[in-house]
Each structure stands twice: as C-alpha cells, then as structure tokens.
Chains A and B, each alone.
Chain A
Amino acid sequence: MWLGVWLAVLGLAVGAMIGLYVPVLLPMAYARYTSVAVLAALDSVFGGIKAGMEDKFDNKVFISGFFSNALLAAGLAFIGERLGIELYLAAVVAFGVRLFQNLAIIRRHLLKR
C-alpha cells in the first residue's frame, strides 16, 4: 500500500520534471481539450485511490479508465466545439461531481481508521 503511495508521489515528481523540461506549450485551441482530459485523469486517479481503499482495485479498470476517460473527455470537448455546443462543460460538471464524491469517500475511509 505505502509502496504504491510512494511510487505514485515519485511518479508525479518525475512526470512534473519531464513536463517542465519538455519544450511543448499547447496553443490555446488545444488547452481547452487537454484541461478536460486532465480533469478526467484526476478523477480516474481518485477513483483508483477510492477503489484501493475499498480493496476493489482492478488494474485493468484503472488503466483503461484513466486513458479512455481522458481521451473521451477531450474528444467530447472537441466534438462539442465542432457542434457549436460547449460540451466540455458537461465533462467538467460530471468529473467535478465525481471528484468530490470520490474525495468524500476517501475522507470517510481515512476517518474510519
């Protein structure tokens, strides 16, 4: 369990370093999609943490959920842009709500201990 936490922290640090030193700046047009993707990814991660706390953690679900959610959110935002509807708001709301729910569950699990 704690090894996983440390791994996660280390992975985040490594990813942050990579992100800082990769000379890629997303143009404004794509930033909107990626923002939704990041939100989805965060949601997936917290969902994974919640699942881990409930001892329901499934690796396949976690990985597939992480990537597919991110891609789906970005795609949704893109399609919304094409259709003239700001569909990314739907993703924001949905993932936002889920995020809070997951966080609340995690908090309760932490309090039970």
Chain B
Amino acid sequence: MDKTRYLSIAVVSVVLGIMLVVQFRSTVANENTGVTFDRAQELTVEMRQLEKERHALQLEIEDLSQKLNQANKGQSQGINALKSELEKIKLLAGTLAVKGPGVELLIDNLPQPERPGVDPNIFAVRDEDLLKVINELRTAGAEAISINENRIVATSEIRLAGSFINVNLTRVLPPFKIKAIGNPEILKSSLEVSGGLVEHLQDMGISVVIEKKEELIVPAYSGKQHFDYAKQS
C-alpha cells in the first residue's frame, strides 16, 4: 500500500515536472516568436509572392524605361536627321534664301537713237540673252541665281510673252539685275572671256556691268511648290 503510494507520488511528480517545464518553455518560445507558426508561414509565403511580383515589376520598369529612352532617342535622332535633310533639300531646291560671295550683273538697254522705220525693240534685251547669261553662269558653277529677285530653280522658265519677258511667270522689266552666288572670279571671267557672252551682248547694243560681291543675298523661290501630275514612280 505504502509502496504504491510512493510510486504514484513519484510518477505523478515526474509527469508534472515534465509538463510544467515543457509548458514554460513552449510559452516563452511562443511569446518570443510573437506570431503563430501558421501565420508566420502565411506571411512568408505572401512575402515571397510579393518579392517575386516586385522583382517582375522592377524588370518591367527597366525594360519600359529603356524602350522609352530608345524611342525618345530614336524620335529626336530621326527628327534631327529629317530636319537636316529637309534643310539640305530646301537649299538645293532653291526654296531658301541664300547668301554668299558672287557676282551681280546689271543688264540694260542702251538708249537708242530714234530711227524712223526701225523697231527699237530689235536692240532690246531678249529672253535668249538672259537664257544665255544664266547658262553661262551655271556652267561657271553658280549655285544660286536670281533675275530681278526671281530665283531661278529647276522649273523656272525665261520666256518672251508679248513684248515682255517672264521669269517664273512673273514679268521682269529692264534693267535686269542678275545675282549669282559662286566663285566671283570664275563667274566674272567666264562671262568676260574674249569673244564671250558679254562682248557679244555689248556688240548688240546692250550695257552689261559685272560687279564682284563679297556677300549677296539671293532670295528664295516663291512659286508653286507641288506637282499635280508628277508622282513618285
């Protein structure tokens, strides 16, 4: 009887000791963690998920900003290239006013004595004369030419219309002031070569004065700037 009593006391006390200590330790450990195991796991999973999401978004940001930069760069580069190309083409087409060294010709009719029965216009400057001058200037390397502030371009005509001369469908009247940008020396000498154009015109009773200029301004072509019939082939 006594033995069983002591045995039971021992067993119970051992069990109680184990229970108490385990309980203490568990309680302390759980208080330390603060959150339950399940919750911690949940939060960990959520955090991983969010990390992944964040990473993906970060990558997207990088990608998109790179694309944006490229697009911007491309756009500005393209625009700049187009602008410079446009400027060049405008310059070549004659739709820009240009300045530079060159020559200025003043071509005028000399006063004719009254001759009865003779048409005074016979000694006047004719369209062919202007054409020849333009031709000569172009041959000598003129880069921009104008007659009385009418820019000569690829589509310009010089043509007699009645008793007047038309340039770019605009009537031009004497005195004719022709401006040409290029090497002044070459332009002048090619016109004044002996047996050349100036001599010929002077023989015809026309006054030609050539002036070299350090800087002259040739205006822009101001006519129509589109084609109705010609299309890109």
Contact = CB atoms under 8 A, between A and B. Distances in A.
Interface in B7-58: 8-23, 25-27, 29-30, 36-38
B229 interface: no
Contacts of B38: 29
Contact of A29 (B9, B13, B36): B36
B5 interface: yes
Interface string A12-33: 1111101110101111110100
B27 A16 contact: no
Interface string A55-70: 0010100110010001
B6 interface: yes
Contacts of A8: 9-10, 13
A19 B19 contact: yes
A32 to B, nearest CB: 10
A34 B23 contact: yes
B112 interface: no
Give the size category of B's interface with A. Answer: 20 to 34
B8 A11 contact: no
What range describes how many residues of A lie at the interface? 35 or more
Given A19-B20, A35-B23, A35-B27, A11 B5 contact: no
A62 B8 contact: yes
A22 B23 CA distance: 12
A35 B26 CA distance: 10
A51 to B, nearest CB: 11
A27 B27 CA distance: 9
Interface stretch (A36-44, A78-86, A89-97): A36-44
Contact of B18 (A7, A19, A62): A19
Given A4-B9, A25-B29, A63-B8, A38 B19 contact: yes
A28 B30 contact: yes
A5 B26 CA distance: 28
28 contacts: A4-B9, A8-B10, A11-B10, A15-B14, A15-B18, A15-B19, A15-B20, A18-B18, A18-B21, A19-B18, A22-B22, A25-B26, A26-B26, A31-B26, A34-B22, A34-B23, A34-B26, A37-B19, A38-B19, A38-B23, A41-B16, A44-B12, A48-B12, A59-B1, A59-B5, A63-B8, A66-B15, A66-B16
Q: What 7 pairs between A and B have smallest CB-CB spacing?
A: A15-B17, A11-B13, A19-B21, A26-B26, A15-B14, A12-B17, A19-B18
Given A7-B6, A7-B10, 7 more contacts: A8-B9, A14-B17, A15-B19, A19-B17, A19-B20, A41-B12, A66-B16
